[in-house]
Chain A
Amino acid sequence: MSYLEYFPSSVLRLLVVVFMLTNANVHADEYSDVNQLIRSEKLGEAMVKVEAFLVAKPRDPQMRFLKGVIQRISGKQTEAINTFSKLTEDFPELPEPYNNLAVLYAGQGNFEKARTSLEMAIRTNPSYATAHENLGDVYARLASQAYGSALQLEGANAAVPPKLALIKEVFKSNIKTQAGANPSPANSSTVATVTPAPAPTKTTPNISPTPSAAPAAPLANPAAPPAPVTAMPSAVTATLPPPPQAKPVVLDKASKEVEAAVLAWAKAWAAKDMNTYLGAYGKEFVPPGNQTRAVWEQERKKRILGKSNITLKLENLNVTVNANKATVKFHQVYKANALAVSSRKTLSLTKQGNDWQITKESTGN
């Protein structure tokens, strides 16, 4: 594990919002517009935009997902369930709709259905921390109900129902393109990792998870990414031994070089050293969303230099090297100004001469 931290403690954290790091394309603008409207609680307007968009692109998973989120927040539980259910049918590989279905089922008191949905979410994405934490809450609830039945306790369901965390946005990289490769990677979205609220409030689910929770939550990541999920590691109790940190898989020279390159890239980003940062990307790098390299670089400059402080933390680095190609997966915690975004990143690198250069950057597995 290694991390870089600059300007560590002076960042004020009052809100967390879902934030797009780069505007990859026109659609990204539309998604973020809708998100902004949701955040400002202009749900009617948001829905208008959503419906308009879906006329032209009825199948679009991200917009449909946002529709479900709006329905949920508006209290239209049945419609929300419908929306997310259809999404799971059309895009069974996406974990986010399953997670939100679980939140809705839990809200109705149907914890068995919530559990099934969360297990599906985890099946599609084994390292999905939110789903794991939600599942832990659901298990606790189901256990309590079973004990209540066993002991024939009155009001077995009177205990505070757990508040499950709603996901606000689909990871773009979870959406497969026609070519089958990872699509536009540059958007990274908030993973709403939340510990259950201790205070008994039964109202809307946590929309704004506190940022302090996000990086602290121990991610129960399996060290080897393709490992099948055999059992659910828990992420809730303090009595658990800490999950194993990703061990450096190969300690040889090549891996060390790759790791060094990634760390240098992150250091440059945090330092807003645009030359070094952009120089880390090789000639074969394909910018997301059909942008030209030039346009993409402009965007990055705008985004990065526009911040007063940037903090970058890379965790659980996993490096695999094959001759002159390497893949690095890690958990990235990005903080800038009042924002905190945490996501799972994958970088593909190729060795050019003596340097390892980034040829692909994506969020998610």
Chain B
Amino acid sequence: MRMNRYFSTILALLIVCLLFAQEASARKKSGDMDLANAKTAAKKTSLLGQAEARLIEIYQLIAKSESTSALAKAESLVADFPNFQLAQLVYGDLLAARIRPVKSVGDVPELQLKGAEAVLSQLREESQLRLKALRERPASGAIPSEFLALSSSNKHAIAIDASRSRLYLFENQSSGLALIADFYISVGKSGLEKSTEGDLRTPLGIYFITSNLDPKTLKNFYGSGALPINYPNILDTKRGKTGSGIWLHGTPPEQFSRPPKATDGCVVLSNPDLLQIIRTVEVRTTPVVISKRLNWVSQGTTQLTKKSFELALNEWRIAKSNGNVEKALDYYSPDFSSFGMSLPEWTPSLRSEVKKAKGREIVLKDLSMLHWSDSGETMVVTFGEVLAGRLTGPIKRQYWSLQSKQWKIFFEGVI
């Protein structure tokens, strides 16, 4: 009894210290995340994957010195997920605490630890990142700054914060974009910003899910399925980036959850979490933003950027609607490239479209605008280009870049 209280205090202190250490470093970046209090955080556990929610509950019980309940829940968790290594680690600690003081998370005796120090270190990192995700929540109603506008045909959206090892899933509701779930993820062994084939990095940028692969056709390694994304996208290709096969996929049967930096560049989720995503999102329309660190803003904040871009978009639309090809061409960048065609090679098709329109106004239906900032400013725009009076038109995607304070199209194509 005395011993258990002793242990519980130590472990609770450890966890609280971990959390406060994270909080301290997070405060440095201003305006990013609201540091929710414990009650709100606890409420949010309903958004987390089920296995993780149970793990967090165990942490909370430990922090409250309820070691007996914690042990019971840990036993149950590892029974349900025997390959959830982090849960086994915590379970081991709780058992060990019955008979000796536990000095740290994963207090494995030295003799047993031999050779596995790296694994232990990765598990501790995973633990910290999961806890951090619980502790540091985005402000209610805030969204990543990339989502300038989503059309109603974008029923869902995904944003990945690679440094937090977290994937956020949004639903596009009438009141705006709403966070409905978030999950722990693993990214590339060598880190971020993929640029070449085989560099074991996860790409950064704005992507779309291109397909949904049947798990039966895949190796066990990929777990419950795979959602490939379109790396390299148009911007990546323009920058000369190579590589392929970047998927969102699951885990092999013997490993429920992988270390934070473990993959060959893919984004990996535990199988139940991936299944939840697969069952929710739509292929081809769902954007996947992958950022080193997401910038969460209120939905009104992006208005300025949006308005200034929309001016350019509108002027292009009007010029094309008026049949003014020369004016329209002003909005195309000299380094334009579309399916291998340079601007001069592509211009005839523009003229032919204008001719077919016969002066009817162009309406942009189901418009979505996604904003990517890195060394440059890029806008990924998708819409249905519908002529007034018609019901449908081709779905087009354009990539715009900001060049000397002017927005210009460097890719346009039907998707």
List residues of A whose CB falls within 8 A of some B CB. Answer: 112, 136, 139-140, 142-153, 159, 230-234, 236-237, 239-241
Contact B120 A151 (CB under 8 A): yes
Cα A193 to Cα B287 in complex, Å, equals: 66
- Which residue of chain B lies nearest to A159 when distances are taken between CB atoms in the complex? B112
Tell me the minimal C-beta distance from B9 to chain A in angstroms.
14
Contact A146 B89 (CB under 8 A): yes
Contact A140 B108 (CB under 8 A): no
Contacts of A150 in B (CB 8 A): 85-86, 88-89, 91-92, 106, 108, 119-120, 123
Contact B95 A142 (CB under 8 A): yes
Is B101's beta carbon under 8 Å from chain A?
yes
Given known pairs A144-B112, A231-B68, A233-B1, the reply for A149 and B98 (CB within 8 Å) is: no
Is B356's beta carbon under 8 Å from chain A?
no
Tell me the minimal C-beta distance from A156 to chain B in angstroms.
8
Cα A91 to Cα B254 in complex, Å, equals: 42
Q: List 9 tightest A-B contacts by C-beta distance, closest first.
A: A146-B92, A150-B89, A143-B95, A150-B88, A143-B96, A151-B116, A149-B88, A147-B92, A231-B1
Is B359's beta carbon under 8 Å from chain A?
no
Cα A136 to Cα B97 in complex, Å, equals: 10
- Which residue of chain A lies nearest to B100 when distances are taken between CB atoms in the complex? A237
Contacts of B13 in A (CB 8 A): none
Contacts of A239 in B (CB 8 A): 100-101
Contact B78 A146 (CB under 8 A): yes
Q: Beyond A149-B85, A151-B116, A151-B120, list 20 extra A-B contacts (CB 8 Å).
A: A136-B98, A139-B98, A140-B95, A140-B99, A143-B95, A146-B78, A147-B89, A147-B92, A148-B112, A149-B83, A150-B89, A150-B108, A151-B85, A151-B89, A151-B123, A152-B254, A231-B1, A231-B68, A234-B3, A237-B100
Contact B96 A139 (CB under 8 A): yes
Cα A353 to Cα B2 in complex, Å, equals: 44
Contact A241 B2 (CB under 8 A): yes
Given known pairs A149-B82, A150-B89, the reply for A139 and B95 (CB within 8 Å) is: yes
Q: Can you show 17 pairs from A to B with CB atoms below 8 A apart?
A: A112-B75, A140-B99, A143-B93, A144-B92, A147-B89, A147-B112, A149-B88, A150-B120, A151-B85, A151-B89, A151-B112, A152-B85, A152-B254, A234-B3, A234-B99, A239-B101, A241-B2
- Which residue of chain A lies nearest to B92 when distances are taken between CB atoms in the complex? A146
Tell me the minimal C-beta distance from A92 to chain B in angstroms.
21
Contact B100 A232 (CB under 8 A): no
Residue of A136, A149, A152, A239 with most partner-chain B CB within 10 A: A149
Contacts of A142 in B (CB 8 A): 95
- Which residue of chain B lies nearest to A142 when distances are taken between CB atoms in the complex? B95
- Which residue of chain A lies nearest to B82 when distances are taken between CB atoms in the complex? A149
Is B4's beta carbon under 8 Å from chain A?
yes
Cα A112 to Cα B79 in complex, Å, equals: 11
Tell me the minimal C-beta distance from B68 to chain A in angstroms.
6
Is B350's beta carbon under 8 Å from chain A?
no
- Which residue of chain B lies nearest to A236 when distances are taken between CB atoms in the complex? B99
Contacts of A232 in B (CB 8 A): 98
Residues 102-131 (chain B) with a chain A CB within 8 angstroms: 106, 108-109, 112-113, 116, 119-120, 123
- Which residue of chain A lies nearest to B89 when distances are taken between CB atoms in the complex? A150
The number of A-B residue pairs with CB atoms under 8 Å apart is 87
- Which residue of chain B lies nearest to A151 when distances are taken between CB atoms in the complex? B116
- Which residue of chain A lies nearest to B119 when distances are taken between CB atoms in the complex? A151
Contacts of A112 in B (CB 8 A): 75
Tell me the minimal C-beta distance from A136 to chain B in angstroms.
5
Contact B106 A240 (CB under 8 A): no
Contacts of B112 in A (CB 8 A): 144, 147-148, 151, 153, 159
B249-283 interface bits toward A, Cβ cutoff 8 Å, 1 = contact, 0 = none: 00000110000000000000000000000000000
Contacts of A148 in B (CB 8 A): 112
Residue of A112, A232, A236 with most partner-chain B CB within 10 A: A232
- Which residue of chain B lies nearest to A140 when distances are taken between CB atoms in the complex? B99
Cα A143 to Cα B113 in complex, Å, equals: 13
Given known pairs A231-B1, A231-B4, A233-B3, the reply for A147 and B99 (CB within 8 Å) is: no
Contacts of B75 in A (CB 8 A): 112
- Which residue of chain B lies nearest to A240 when distances are taken between CB atoms in the complex? B3
Given known pairs A151-B119, A151-B120, A239-B101, the reply for A146 and B3 (CB within 8 Å) is: no
- Which residue of chain B lies nearest to A243 when distances are taken between CB atoms in the complex? B2
Cα A159 to Cα B116 in complex, Å, equals: 16
- Which residue of chain A lies nearest to B87 when distances are taken between CB atoms in the complex? A150
Contact A151 B108 (CB under 8 A): yes
Cα A152 to Cα B316 in complex, Å, equals: 59
- Which residue of chain A lies nearest to B254 when distances are taken between CB atoms in the complex? A152
Cα A233 to Cα B1 in complex, Å, equals: 6
Cα A237 to Cα B100 in complex, Å, equals: 7
- Which residue of chain B lies nearest to A136 when distances are taken between CB atoms in the complex? B99
Contact A140 B89 (CB under 8 A): no
Residue of A112, A145, A149, A151 with most partner-chain B CB within 10 A: A151
Cα A239 to Cα B101 in complex, Å, equals: 9
Residue of B2, B4, B95, B101 with most partner-chain A CB within 10 A: B95
Tell me the minimal C-beta distance from B292 to chain A in angstroms.
29
Cα A37 to Cα B116 in complex, Å, equals: 51
Tell me the minimal C-beta distance from B317 to chain A in angstroms.
57
Contacts of B100 in A (CB 8 A): 234, 237, 239
- Which residue of chain B lies nearest to A241 when distances are taken between CB atoms in the complex? B2
Partner of A151, one of B98, B99, B113, B255: B113
Cα A230 to Cα B4 in complex, Å, equals: 11
- Which residue of chain B lies nearest to A141 when distances are taken between CB atoms in the complex? B95
- Which residue of chain B lies nearest to A145 when distances are taken between CB atoms in the complex? B92
Residues 325-376 (chain B) with a chain A CB within 8 angstroms: none
Contact A234 B98 (CB under 8 A): yes
Contact B91 A146 (CB under 8 A): yes
Contacts of A149 in B (CB 8 A): 78, 82-83, 85, 88
Given known pairs A147-B112, A151-B85, A151-B108, the reply for A237 and B2 (CB within 8 Å) is: no
Contacts of B88 in A (CB 8 A): 146-147, 149-150
- Which residue of chain A lies nearest to B67 when distances are taken between CB atoms in the complex? A231
Contacts of B4 in A (CB 8 A): 231
Cα A240 to Cα B119 in complex, Å, equals: 30
Tell me the minimal C-beta distance from A286 to chain B in angstroms.
37
Contacts of A151 in B (CB 8 A): 85, 89, 108, 112-113, 116, 119-120, 123
Residues 366-389 (chain B) with a chain A CB within 8 angstroms: none
Contacts of B67 in A (CB 8 A): 231
Contact A237 B99 (CB under 8 A): yes
Tell me the minimal C-beta distance from A245 to chain B in angstroms.
14
Contacts of A145 in B (CB 8 A): 92
